[in-house]
Chains A and B, each alone.
Chain A
Amino acid sequence: QSALTQPASVSESPGQSITISCTGTGSDVGGHNYVSWYQQHPGKAPKLIIYEVSNRPSGVSDRFSGSKSGNTASLTISGLQAEDEADYYCNSYTTSRTLVFGGGTKLTVL
């Protein structure tokens, strides 16, 4: 299985919105709705922010939202804040009952 494809970096100004894409295949992202997203700040463990494509765990800001179309999942962050500056990773369950991560996207809040 190959890593899911994410843009290496994105940047936007505070208050604006950004969308990060995550492209896989019919064997992972396109095969079901078990797509999750993680936020990782430097030196810290990742944090689950989206599960099952578009659901947020309790305590995660509603500025984070997820969606999927075909083999591509997306994470949108609205009302960007300085604290959102971090690395973001998508993850998908696969038809082989394994998991696969995306390569990660570095978000810079200008």
Chain B
Amino acid sequence: QVQLQESGPGLLKPSQTLSLTCTVSGGSISSGGYYWSWIRQHPGKGLEWIGYIYYSGSTYSSPSLESRVSISVDTSKNQFSLKLSSLTAADTAVYYCGRSNTKQYYYGLDVWGQGTTVTVSS
């Protein structure tokens, strides 16, 4: 079955840019019908959808973050990535990648990575 794994630095400084990668295994990122998502969860808080990308490169982002967010896909590596610029302490969170399945689950996020903790501190 499809599995997702996030990777990237765990500690960054304010004003830096966060770069995370999600590696897809057990299936092809180029399979139609899936949007590849980024979600975050602030410490002790709820889930926040960041954005997603289709294998063709079409992206959609949360209006509250879109000015700082860039999501890209590398089909040759079966990976998709998140860049979040101008970091502040408020970006400290667990970052998840997920698969939004339009074929079976009408955009339901049926596969999730284990999450990676990102801390922004000087």
Residues of A within 8 A of B (CB): 1, 3, 33-34, 36, 38, 40, 45-48, 51-52, 55, 57, 87, 89, 91, 93, 96-104
- B96 on the A face (CB < 8 A): yes
Given contacts A48-B105, A98-B60, A98-B62, contact A57 B110 (CB under 8 A): yes
Q: List 11 A-B contacts (CB under 8 A).
A: A36-B106, A46-B47, A48-B108, A48-B110, A51-B105, A51-B108, A52-B105, A52-B106, A91-B109, A96-B63, A97-B60
The A/B interface has a contact count, at CB < 8 Å, of 78
Residues of B within 8 A of A (CB): 37, 39, 45-49, 51-52, 60-64, 96, 100, 104-110, 112-115
The interface residues of chain B, by DSSP majority, are classed as strand
Which residues of A are found within 8 Å of B47, using beta-carbon distances?
38, 40, 46, 89, 91, 101, 104
* Contact between chains at A102 and B46 (CB < 8 Å): yes
* Contact between chains at B113 and A45 (CB < 8 Å): yes
A sample of 9 more A-B contacts (CB under 8 A), given A36-B109, A57-B105, A91-B47, is A33-B106, A34-B107, A36-B106, A47-B112, A48-B105, A57-B108, A99-B37, A100-B62, A104-B47
Task: Give chain A nearest CB distance to B58 CB in angstroms.
Answer: 9
* Contact between chains at A48 and B109 (CB < 8 Å): yes
